[in-house]
Amino acid sequence: MSVSAAAIEHLLPQTQCRQCGYEGCAPYAAALAAGTAAINLCTPGGDTVIHDLAGLLQRAPLPPADAAKAAAPKVIARIVEDACIGCTACIKACPTDAILGATKYMHSVISDECTGCELCVPPCPVDCIELVPVADAWLPRAGVAAAPANPRRGAADYALERYRKRQDRLARQAAAKAARLAQKRAAAQGNAAAAVQTDSGRKLNPTELIAQAMARAQAQQTQRQSTANRNDFQQQQLQREQERAALRRAQRDVQYGNEAERAAALAWLKAHKAAENGE
């Protein structure tokens, strides 16, 4: 007889605790439907769930795989708030969003929402989450309170709803993050594309861009060189004019100056001639 995974899943406690060895109630249900899992693996469900599974799947009942734990009281998590460092690791681990807190702030378990799945305990880096035994037959308490006539059903439905809401939220957050990243990538690509457009709109490849940059650098260098040459030329012209003026002054002084001016002019003319001759 074939039984749907959905019908099997409906019998499970929905704490998503993974104590069955599967990633949650749905995967365990799928394995049961496929006939690849034993019916006694759900510790929170204990004998009650095993009995129901045996009936639905028409298999012989078995004792719980972890009999000691299945017989032990259920637990609710409690955070020793003074020790909490606000790392948020427990929030990320809680499948039903039963923990309140924010980064670097004290965290608290909403005890009525806690299913006792224990998944928040291992990630806590400071071991400040305690598991407090309780007398409740089914958790979370908020689910039991919502359906007192059928506490098992109420607890499972409540936990499943919380779990699904969390999954939806995580999916929305992941989609929003992916959209933001895609937007950033598109913007970066747009900038890169704009950077390789010429004024005429023609696209250039990187080799052309490098060649253009080198040509621009060369042109700037040439311009600087020509400017330097022009400055040198002007300086030389100025010096030549100054020398001509000095020569004219010396010639004038030799012809019309007094004794001292003539002597000085003669000395200058001698030195000038020697310099011209490279002496």
**Residue 138 vs 265, nearer CB to ligand SF4:** 138
**Residue 115 vs 143, nearer CB to ligand SF4:** 115
- Measured CA distances, 187 to 42, 174, 179, 190, 204 (Å): 50, 20, 12, 5, 19
**Residue 99 parent element (H or E):** strand 99-100
Contact at 8 Å (CB) between 16 and 95? yes
33 binds ligand SF4 (CB under 6 A): no
CA distance 79 to 109: 6
Least distance in Å: CB of 176 to ligand SF4? 24
128 binds ligand SF4 (CB under 6 A): yes
Least distance in Å: CB of 53 to ligand SF4? 10
143 binds ligand SF4 (CB under 6 A): no
- Of these, 7, 67, 71, 126, which contacts ligand SF4 (CB under 6 A)? 126
13 binds ligand SF4 (CB under 6 A): yes
Q: What phi and psi values does residue 127 have, to the nearest 5 degrees?
A: 50, 45
Among the listed residues 107, 108, 115, 93, the one whose alpha carbon sits nearest the alpha carbon of residue 161? 115
User: Segment contacting ligand SF4 (CB under 6 A): 60-68, 80-88, 187-195, 237-245?
Assistant: 80-88
Among the listed residues 35, 30, 37, 23, the one whose alpha carbon sits nearest the alpha carbon of residue 8? 30
Point out which residues bind ligand SF4 (CB under 6 A).
12-13, 15-20, 22, 24-25, 28, 42-45, 77, 79, 84-90, 93-94, 96, 98-99, 101, 107, 109, 114-120, 123-124, 126, 128-129
